[in-house]
Amino acid sequence: MTSPSADHYTYRVRWSAEDQEFVGTVAELPSLSWLAENQEDAFAGIRKLTAEVLADMTASGETPPAAIADRSYSGKFMVRITPEAHRQLAIDAAEQRVSLNRLAANRLIGI
């Protein structure tokens, strides 16, 4: 079994005021992080650490998480809200002459 490529994983580098360094993280493995004095080193560090963890998981027979970029998405998901919020969204949709689905989707993506 080969380990998945760390290249497909979702990385983020941000400034940590608490640590006074940049912190690199990977969405698929939220327990991992890498601190560095600059963004480039934080990115390189978290990518290297991720590759090592993926290799270790594969070697021990664990199944590494699929990269978010490699997963399939249907475009559907369920959101639970209060009945009052549902009613207000239905009113807003009717006033805008769009479906409730269209209104919710537009609001989710900030349109």
d(CA 44, CA 36): 9
pTM of the shown model:
0.74
The structural domain count of the chain equals 2
Q: Are residues 10 and 33 in the same domain?
A: yes
pLDDT in tens, 33-42: 999 999 999 9
What pLDDT score does 111 carry?
Answer: 75
Q: Are residues 22 and 42 in the same domain?
A: yes
The reply to whether 1 falls in a domain is no
d(CA 89, CA 47): 42
What pLDDT score does 92 carry?
Answer: 96
Strand partners, 36: 22
pLDDT in tens, 44-80: 999 999 999 999 999 999 999 999 999 999 999 999 9
Q: Are residues 63 and 86 in the same domain?
A: no
The domain containing residue 42 runs over which residues?
6-70
d(CA 70, CA 83): 36
Question: Stretch 15-25: mean pLDDT, rounded?
Answer: 98
What pLDDT score does 1 carry?
Answer: 46
